Structure 1
């Protein structure tokens, strides 16, 4: 396509103001009183910049202890207050001109020309645009003051100002210029595409003349697509342009861009002067609609594979303002199968929309609000703040509305308050600009959701306490999800939970309830409500949140504004516990486990015909709110080395093949039925696919089947076929791989199966003592015996509960929330780290991390706290970075003349489980063998203190 700069052709001229400015910090906010706009500022700064990117203020390369954040990244140059900027500007000609000062992105700004204050602007999400025509001179001093004081903001600002994301920076970023227009010009040009009808409608405001003729031309990919002359009158005008049938549409699969060129032809305009009144607007010919339970793009059903974004950019502390940076970021997300971005309480800059236009990604900006919407009469009603938010929404629509990637808009995150007021605001937006789909917000009213008349789609996590359509939840938001509470399978879906077969009316408990509110808590009124049955598309909110241990090798990457003092502190804590050498193993094992949890989460969403999309939290790490290391990519959108983008796309792309299995653990020789589903959302139908199934033992194919299907498959979720598979009659437990694919297509997936013979040999353990009593164990160790101990003395003081799922979001944040709500605190662990090459696993195949055959062993178990000990377990439970317990599930020691094998896994009550029976056999077989030679040594007296 054409160079984007050509699509953003300016009208008459742009006087670039980037470069050197006079500058000073005003932390005491005395500058107005001291009339800084009159004098010369002592320092200088190169704009665009923030205080932090320019390293202004106190030099603090070595962050003092008291400034180090554990819950977020640290900005050594963080500044709140006023900053002042001054520059002398020269204009060539003031005749028949209109001048506008434009600051692309900043905080609250005030502008003076000479000594005259010409106005202020407080938009956080859009550019600050000042009409300066009445004040300009050929040479003038321009002064700008920027205020980022939180108390000055009409609202808190969500992630536009949060320390957890881009920080509450002070400065001016992006373009800074004076726009020079002719006295007759167009403004508020809005393009309404109609892809089905191959036409566009255009709204435009004519300024500076009672009437004018405009020539409209549309071009795309070097081809003229249509054009016509129109007569305009002063004020708003509406006209249409029909396009050729060859006009290409815009979508995730075909991100074709067009441009509308409007040339003003005022009376007496000479042909050679026409370009001086030419306006160019890029757009995409697309129809994005909510149709029934799904979204459609140009008539094709699509499924939103979304990610959350809070504008986290550690090198700058603010979002990039250039196109290339956003092409890299969004391009990386698309490489991982993402076609949708939801911006949490924030709006990205223009460059992001442009990159999404080019790449074909569906964007959902959100008002910068995370709180309560009220109405008149409410004791907490703040009309000024609420009006600001409403106006901010209109500003977002005006500034970014022509971008084809801008398809959705949200009122905010997890809002409470007046549903009537929210509905009224939505109605206003829809009547003002119907090019986008609107929602009341993301996960509004949490346990008491409802669907408003004016919203086009619903984004949440449940429709009642137990109608959950997400796989994981915080303990304070219990009940927990199926991935946290059930043995792993690939059959669970959300269809009956989203739209039950029978509509029941339920009554909420009348009274007050304490709920999670932002990163804290709040008491709200629980109202009676009817069961919600949605008839609009449903998108699951912030799915995933599977935490993993930090990757400390990442610390060296923080070479910019924000420093990873949190990661450094976590590393110091681990070192103090004597486990720093385990950090990389903890990271890799917990990361691999988290990936399996994400696979289960995403595949559940794709299997669900009643779900229209999901929004991950997140593909990348979230470096705030306690430090939530939940991404398979780091905060820089770089691969952590856990899996490749191609492996991720097997279960997150526009075509995913899904095996339906009731579990992953089977008996040798067992006959199983494998259902095959297809989630397909591509541009063209898939004709007569051939489904292939292979069962592999390592690289050896032990079974291969295929089925040819006669139907053509358009977009949707389909049950393709079933395969009957007879598992081999093996003599030892094996890990087998079930591989499914569509022949001659780039669509495949795989699943690990753990297969055990029903009968196991007898273990040689004649001289092995098996006991639950520490006293009995010590008595036999004193006699030089071999002992297997299943300790009966595990308590909440000396151990941590076992859980199959990894921690949700991050332990510090939700521990604090649970404590404040007087609810159970999370377990806070990150799965197992297993020394899989240990000889104890000769007959128990395993990975180095938690996999499905460990479910019965972990559930109901406890991990023993081995503080102050040099013992290194065979099977660890990985603790979180705040607590950093050394947790052992299986460890061995030499004690006196005896040898001790301690197992805290759930075996005694799990003997019906094949993995448990084989694991117990492996313990006894190992303990009775010559291989049982523990390296760890413990004094018998020390052993007595284990209680």
Structure 2
């Protein structure tokens, strides 16, 4: 099973790939600490030192020809590029073909051309005849590209993605995507989940490049009066990025017969608008929201797997989870005793058990089922299931909510979905809960999915989603009855996916929402999902997430409403900031704002011939 990363030739200190073996030994060791055993070099071939280091450390390499013939050119049309491809690929195979780490090869990335398959399939046949010591594929491709019949393995994006347009679960896998093929199938460019820039990286650019992109993003954030939140945005979006990678990688691991995955990527890519998709920075230095050891729990030769049908439960339900292991280590593991435990958010064990001892053979193996009643949870809470096999362990968060709640007391709270009524009541001194779901005008151009930004919004023409998860304040008393961390996690799906956000740019400079969606760093709008404010002599709570509909089916939303109302009934409900009626009205009145649609159908400058 290939646990790969895509190496995109980003070397900001030199501007070129270092030629020293010591550099590549260090880079591969850093990658191995995260569980990586494979590198795909995206549309380029590394220097000899990279092969020598990989030979020494046991890294499987997929170099490629220096070709992404898709923008302004094409293959198979008899143009000079065809001859160049043949000759350059021949040179690569002659120069580096004797290295044992050189196990895979492709012409390059995502070609164009009506005759691409005829040309590239012939090239694969030629390579196989000339040097059969490795496996060949015509190209590394997205899901809409055709496949060459002579491929000995496939690198394609079909076996990737998180189906989070539906409630998250960990039962799905990619079996249906790989089933039609009888050669190994490797996921192309898996991941690409963005994190907010870490401006503390700017001083690291001591070579030929300066971090002008980061400097611009930082200046824009400061212009929007959110400079002090930069680190919080980075950490919160990073925690969620790690959750996304874990869930997608585990889906790949639990797919029987899968060939592996190539992450895009373990480190950041500073080009194409700034693709901040790595759990390390562009220098391969760790980002502190996840350690190499934590990442390796789900990206290593032996990974315990749990198939959750869902991650949100009520306390009158039974948790039933299928336990498995994905084992691709060097030997069969004898006499393993799978052990599991469930802990609360304080680390207290609330349940534990063992599954039958077994021999762990290669591939995917069922270990048994974990089942327990959740009636131990008297209040809403976050829990963690841990599954261990000797030194290998993995863990998953899940949430348990009361099956029923007492009726909320709204005697002293005016609840409405009409902002005019909300303003009128607040001016008269009332406590007001404004349910703004579906009502927002100022901010409606910001599209929020549960998944974060893919690659980056600049490269993909500002297509949605536009947010990077949320930053919230779990210590705020409004969330006292709603268990949460400071970042998005799976229980938030109900409150975030396809929910409106509010643009609070015109609010007071230091204004902090209780729940703040993190905007794409190219625009840095101050966004709110839930905020409180004084208005006139009254107090106002505004929520643009739907916390009203189908409460018996949407128990997370029901719990949020309960928590907000409990807070609003208390003496703690004392919003620190005041807003005007005009500022409130601007959120909901058509034409009362400076909305603009930043999406475009034009190509990024990098793609224009």
TM-score normalised by the shorter chain: which range applies? over 0.9
Q: 2:230 aligns with which of 579, 583, 586?
A: 583
Moved more, 629-638 or 773-782: 773-782
The structural deviation recorded for 1:798 is 4.7
Aligned-residue CA RMSD (Å): 1.5
**Pairing partner for 2:47 from 345, 349, 361:** 349
- Report the TM-score, using the length of structure 1 for normalisation: 0.60
CA shift for structure 1 position 830: 0.3
The answer as to 2:359 corresponding to 1:715 is: no
Residues 892-940 of structure 1: per-residue CA shift (max 9 Å, x gap): 0011100000001122224221111111111111111111000011123
SS of the equivalent of 2:82 reads helix
| 2:339 counterpart (669, 678, 692) | 692
Q: How far apart, in 2, do the equivalents of 1:900 and 1:913 lie?
A: 24
Cα drift, residue 799 of structure 1: 5.4
What is the rounded CA distance, in whole Å, between the counterparts of 1:910 and 1:827 in structure 2?
Answer: 25
Instruction: Give 1 or 2: higher strand fraction.
Output: 1
Match of 1:768 in 2: 413
Alignment of 1:387-406 (within 5 A): 387-406=83-102
Alignment of 1:19-168 (within 5 A): none
- Note the 1:214-225 alignment, pairs <5 A: none
Rounded to whole Å, the distance in 1 between the matches of 2:483 and 2:453 is 25
**Is residue 799–residue 865 contact of structure 1 (8 Å, CA) maintained in 2?**
no
- Tell me whether 1:437 sits opposite 2:132 in the alignment: no
Decide whether aligned partners of structure 1 residues 778 and 355 sit closer, same or farther in structure 2, where only a CA change above 3 A counts. Answer: same
Shift of 1:371: 1.2
- Which residue is 1:470 aligned to? 160
Separation (CA, whole Å) in 2 of partners of 1:328 and 1:448: 35
- Say which SS state the counterpart of residue 589 (structure 1) adopts: helix
Q: Which has the larger radius of gyration?
A: 1
Counterpart of 2:601? none
Alignment of 1:362-761 (within 5 A): 362-371=60-69, 374-375=75-76, 378=77, 381-382=78-79, 384-417=80-113, 418=115, 419-443=117-141, 446-453=143-150, 455-462=151-158, 469-471=159-161, 481-483=162-164, 485-499=165-179, 533-697=180-344, 698-710=346-358, 712-742=359-389, 745-761=390-406
Aligned residue for 1:811, secondary structure, equals: coil
Picking from 781, 787, 805, the partner of 2:426 is 781
The one of 493, 496, 499 equivalent to 1:861 is 499
Cα distance in 2 for residues equivalent to 1:831 and 1:498 = 31
Matched, 1:311 2:1: no
Residues 796, 496 of structure 1: CA spacing in aligned structure 2 closer, same or farther, 3 A cutoff?
A: farther
State the alpha-carbon separation in 2 of the partners of residues 714 and 672 from structure 1.
27
Distance apart, 1:553 and its partner CA = 0.6
Q: Kindly tell me: are residues 683 and 942 of structure 1, through their superposed partners in 2, closer, same or farther at Cα, counting changes over 3 Å? A: closer
Label 1:443 to 1:799 Cα distance change in 2 as closer, same or farther (>3 A): closer
2:563 maps to 1:925: no
Distance change (3 Å), C-alpha of 1:800 and 1:908: farther
1:941 Cα deviation after fit: 4.1
Q: Which residue of 1 aligns with 2:520?
A: 880
Contact 1:735 1:755 in 2 (8 A): yes
Tell me the TM-score normalized by structure 2.
0.93
Deviation at residue 425 of structure 1 after TM alignment: 1.2
CA distance in structure 2 between the partners assigned to 1:799 and 1:786 by the alignment: 29
Question: 1:239 corresponds to which residue?
Answer: none
Report the alpha carbon displacement of residue 369 of structure 1 after superposing the two structures with TM.
Answer: 0.5
How far apart, in 1, do the equivalents of 2:239 and 2:186 lie? 26
Correspondence 1:904-923 to 2 at 5 A: 904-911=544-551, 912-923=553-564
Correspondence for 1:325: 23
User: 5+ residue gaps in structure 2?
Assistant: 590-609
| Structure 1 position 838 matched with structure 2 position 483 | no
Pick closer, same or farther for the CA change 1:416–1:775 going to 2, 3 Å: same
Rounded Cα–Cα distance in structure 2 between residues aligned with 1:623 and 1:877: 24
CA deviations on 1:843-866 (whole Å, 9 max, x unpaired) are 111010111111111123100001
Question: CA separation of 1:797/1:581 partners in 2, compared to 1, >3 Å: closer, same or farther?
Answer: closer
Structure 2 contact 104–134 (Cα < 8 Å) conserved: yes
2:539 is the alignment partner of 1:899: yes
Q: 2:579 aligns with which of 913, 926, 938?
A: 938
Worse overlay, 631-640 or 753-762: 753-762
Cα distance in structure 1, aligned partners of 2:367 and 2:127: 42
Over residues 823-853 of structure 1, what are the superposed CA-to-partner deviations in whole Å (9 max), with x where a residue is unaligned? Answer: xx21211011111110011111101011111
Indicate conservation of the 8 Å contact 1:860/1:906, yes or no: no
Q: Deviations over 1:696-750 (max 9, x none)?
A: 112211111002234x2321111121121222432211111111101xx211000
Structure showing the higher helix proportion among its residues? 2
- Distance verdict in 2 for CA 1:369–1:891, change over 3 Å: same
Evaluate the alpha carbon distance shift between residue 435 and residue 798 of structure 1 in structure 2; reply closer, same or farther with a 3 A threshold.
Answer: closer
User: In the aligned structure 2, how far is the partner of 1:415 from the partner of 1:436?
Assistant: 22
The one-character-per-residue Cα deviations of 1:589-625 (angstroms, maximum 9, x if unpaired) are 0000010000001000000013211000000001101
Q: Which is bigger in relative contact order (C-alpha 8 A, separation at least 6)? A: 2
Contact 2:507–2:583 (CA<8 Å) still a contact in 1? no
Distance across 1 between alignment mates of 2:582 and 2:348 = 52
Question: What is the distance in 2 between the residues matched to 1:676 and 1:797?
Answer: 43
1:799–1:760 CA distance, 2 compared to 1 (3 A): farther
**Using the alignment, how far apart are the partners of 1:940 and 1:723 within structure 2?**
54
Paired residues for 1:199-214 under 5 Å: none
Alpha-carbon distance in structure 1 between the residues aligned to 2:364 and 2:528: 43
Distance, in Å, in 1 between the alignment partners of 2:402 and 2:321 is 20
Aligned to 1:890: 530
Residue matched to 1:225: none
CA distance in 2, matches of 1:798, 1:583: 24
Between the aligned partners of 1:551 and 1:428, the Cα distance in structure 2 is: 47
Contact 1:858 1:906 in 2 (8 A): no
**C-alpha deviation, 1:868, in angstroms:** 2.0
Gaps of 5+ in 1: 1-302, 463-468, 472-480, 500-532, 817-824
Evaluate the alpha carbon distance shift between residue 636 and residue 910 of structure 1 in structure 2; reply closer, same or farther with a 3 A threshold: farther
Determine if contact 1:669/1:730 at 8 Å carries over to the other structure.
no
* Number of equivalent positions: 578
- Structure 1 SS opposite 2:228: helix
Does the 8 A contact of 1:856 with 1:910 survive in 2? no
- State the distance in 2 between where 1:923 and 1:778 align: 19
5 Å matches for 1:806-817?
806-815=452-461
The answer to whether the 8 Å contact 1:451/1:458 transfers is no
